[in-house]
Amino acid sequence: MLLIRNIRQLATPRGRAGVRGAAMRALEIHDDAVIVIDHDRFAYAGRERDMPRFDITEDVDAKGATAIPGFVDSHTHIPFAGFRESEFNRRLQGETYEQIAASGGGIASSVQATRAASEEQLASNVLDRARTMARYGTTTSEAKSGYGLNLGDELKQLRAIRTAAATSPVRLVPTCLAAHEFPPERRGDRTWVDEIANEILPAVANEKLAIFCDAFVERGVFTRDEGDRVLRAAAALGMIPRLHADELSDTHGASLAAELGCASADHLMHISDDGIRALARSGTVANLLPGTSFFLMSDRYAPARRLIEEGAIVSLSTDCNPGSSMTESMQIVMQLATLQMKMTVEESLTAATLNGAQSLRMADEIGSIEVGKRADFVLLDAPSYLHLVYHFGVNLVREVWRDGRRVSAA
């Protein structure tokens, strides 16, 4: 067994499912702690003086670090090619996202670059981003397609995720997002929904390329009925639904996600009171992405406090993508969640770990430092977990461990 000793503080949420309300603040905190790992699982985590006797064969000195669970980033778009920094600069100079999209930019720009890239190049891109994620403390990440927008290129993106996953330091969880937008050459062609349901999703299921299926229900994109159709078709094929909901307007996406039993309803900047209540009564996770509001220079963030106080399961993610949130850092997401959405540090840590795991239906395996769970954890160069927000704008990660193995170190 492996002993990680000399941990100044260990801070973790607890549970094998997502938690709500006041439970999001109930971290288990141990000073002068140790972790014992048996193969790829936690065998003990707590105060050194309370540790039972183990047959320790190897030990590692944490040198006074703080231990937290590995971050779970449950909403990303990382299998893309090309960047959109010039569009970002245009927005800084006053152009709107809609104006840029109308000139051929936006998602259409990423579709063009992704279609032109080989599967090997996309796999390399995914692996590069996963390595950056690991350096910032992420041990599990969802990864969506959605920049192919035709059968061949959607499959290419998902195959690239599968290829990268074989050597990635981050556990990758694939999602089919063919219902991200209409193909640029088929704007407004509603038969695209038929193609997704009747051709793309069956092909994805046949190759077992995705665990989840997502759809973007939004004004000017997919209607509530179209999102419903896509996600029901995916569920019939064995994929678990998730939903981009109420991001730019209230399209009753949150209530649709709750009705369908989606794993998550994501974004939620324009969620209604009825939508908040629907999520609070459901098992659907409210997955909040404050980096998107920040990067788009919006004053509107998802109502995190209302969602928590009403009893929804709240998680946090980066939304890493080339157009509206170009970051792999869950640390900055936690900082935005606390400083802009008024979550507590404890709530934001739970949202970035255990509740993110619940969003991926993996909370029984990951998301907290508990006996029997996979040994995914981060050693921070900090005296306490509070420094994750207090000491902002820097990378506090010293080491990252996944399945009981060190995968990244400063």
Give which of 78, 74, 71, 76 is closest to 138, Cα–Cα. Answer: 71
Query: Which residue, among 79, 72, 65, 73, has the nearest Cα to 34 in the 3D structure?
Result: 65
pLDDT tens digits for range 4-15: 999 999 999 999
Q: Note the pLDDT of residue 409.
A: 84
* pLDDT value at 55 more than 90: yes
What average pLDDT score do residues 283-311 get? 97
Burial of 218 (C-beta count, 10 Å sphere; 0-12/13-18/19+): buried
Q: What is the pLDDT of residues 182-232, one digit of tens each?
A: 999 998 899 999 999 999 999 999 999 999 999 999 998 999 999 999 999
Torsion of CA 347, 78, 212, 109, to 10 degrees: 120
Own/partner long-range contacts of 91-96 (Cβ < 8 Å, ≥24 apart)? 91/296, 91/297
Binned at pLDDT 50, 70 and 90, residue 291 comes out as very high
| Least confident stretch, 34-48, 103-117, 263-277, 325-339 | 103-117
User: Looking at domain 72-359, what is its CATH homologous superfamily?
Assistant: Metal-dependent hydrolases (3.20.20.140)
Query: Two tokens at 104?
Result: 């051929």
* CATH architecture of structural domain 2-69+365-409: Roll (2.30)
For CATH 3.20.20.140, the residue range(s) in the chain are: 72-359
Bridge partners (DSSP) of residue 28 are: 12
Q: Percent of the chain beyond pLDDT 70?
A: 100
What is the band of 88 on the pLDDT scale with cuts at 50, 70, 90? very high
pLDDT tens per residue, range 361-401: 999 999 999 999 999 999 999 999 999 999 999 999 999 99
Which pLDDT does position 102 carry in this prediction? Answer: 78
Whole-angstrom distance, CA of residue 10 vs CA of residue 46: 7
Whether 360 has a pLDDT exceeding 80, the answer reads yes
User: Which of left, alpha, beta for 192 (phi over 0: left; psi -120 to 50: alpha)?
Assistant: alpha
Q: State if pTM tops 0.95.
A: yes
